[in-house]
Amino acid sequence: MRSALFLLFTFELFMSSRDKIIQAIKAAALEEVPLPAAVGNPITYEDPVQKFSDVAKAVGTSVLEAESHQAVKDHLMQTYIPEVQTRWGLEQPLRMVSTLPEMEGLAEQITDVALDPHSLENVDMAIMSAQFGVAENSALWVPETMIRVLPFICQHLVLLVDSRQILNNMHEAYEKMGLGDDSFGAFIAGPSKTADIEQSLVLGAHGPRSLAIYLMA
C-alpha cells in the first residue's frame, strides 16, 4: 500500500506539463456531441471582379487593369511609378525588386535562395503575384515559398492577379487553398494601416504604405 502511494507520488512529481494539462481537460468530463449542421449559403456576386475592385478601392488600394505583363511594365514605368514618386515625395530613383521573371529590366530579380533578407530593408517597391483574390473583402492570397518578408518590408507593394482567379468569398478561397502545402502565406487586403491614435485611420503603419493591384485580363 505504502509503495503504491509512493509510486503515485513520484508519478505526480514527474508528470510533464503536457500530461497535467491533458489530465485537467479530461477531468473536466467533456461530452461527446455532434456538431450542428452548417447553416446559410455564402454570398456570391454577379460580377465578382467589379465587387473586388470596389471593395479594394474602399480600403485604400489602387486597382488597375492590364492585358499582359508587358502592359503592366509599361504602365508602371510611364504612369504608376511617377505617381508614387509625386504622391510620397520620393526624388531618388526607386529600388525595385520582383519575384516575377517578366519584370526583368524594370526590377531586380529575386532568384537566390541564399539572399539575406536584411538586404531588402531599403526596397522601395516590390512587384509580386498573388494566387487569387476574394471579392467580398478584396483579400489577395500571397503564398510565400521563397521570400516571406518582401511584401512587408517594401515601402510600396504591387500585386498582379489573374482576373479569372477572383473568387466570391472566403469559403471558396479555402477550397482553393487546400490544406497546408505552403509553410507560410498571407491574405493581404490593402496597404498596412493603423487606427491606434484616436481611432483615426493612417495608411502605412509598419508594412507597405501603398498597395496597387493589377487585374490581368
Partner 1 sequence: MSTKTALDFVSASEHKAFDLQHRKVINFNIDRYDNAVSNGLKQWNNLENAKRKAHSIKWRVMENLDKLLPEFEANFQKNGGKVIWANDTVEAQREILTILRRVQAKKIVKSKSMVTEEIELNAFLENNQIQSVETDLGEYIVQLLGQKPYHIVTPAMHLSLADIAKLFHEKFDTPENATAEQLTLKARELLREEYLLADVGITGANFLIADTGSIAITENEGNARLSTSFPKVHIAIVGIEKLIPSINDLDLYWPLLANHGTGQRLTVYNTILSGPKREGESDGPEEMYVILLDNGRTDLLAQKEQRQGLYCIRCGACLNACPIYKNVGGHSYGTTYSGPIGSIITPHMKGLQEFKHLSYASSLCGKCTEVCPVKIDIQKMLLLNRRDSVKEGFSPQVEQWGWKTFAKVAIKRNWIDFFNGKWKNFFLKKFFTKAWGSKRTLPPIAQTSFSKQWKEQEKKDKTY
By CB under 8 A, tell whether 133 contacts partner 1: no
C-alpha to C-alpha distance for 104 and 72, rounded to whole angstroms: 12
Query: In the complex with partner 1, which residue's Cβ is closer, 91 or 198?
Result: 198
- Residue 37, CA distances (Å) to 34, 40, 175, 205 in order: 9, 10, 18, 41
Footprint of partner 1 on residues 58-77 (CB under 8 A)? 59
Size of the site for partner 1 (CB under 8 A): 78
Least separation in angstroms between CB 201 and partner 1: 8
Choose the stretch contacting partner 1; rule: CB under 8 A; options: 4-12, 62-70, 76-84, 189-197: 189-197
Of 97, 103, 147, 216, the residue at the interface with partner 1 (CB under 8 A) is 147
By CB under 8 A, tell whether 205 contacts partner 1: yes
Query: In the complex with partner 1, which residue's Cβ is closer, 46 or 198?
Result: 198
Task: Give the Cβ contact number of residue 110 at 10 Å.
Answer: 18
Least separation in angstroms between CB 186 and partner 1: 4
- For residues 77-101, one letter each, b for 16 or more C-beta atoms within 10 angstroms of the residue's C-beta and e for the rest, the string is eeebbeebbeeeeeeeebebbbbbe
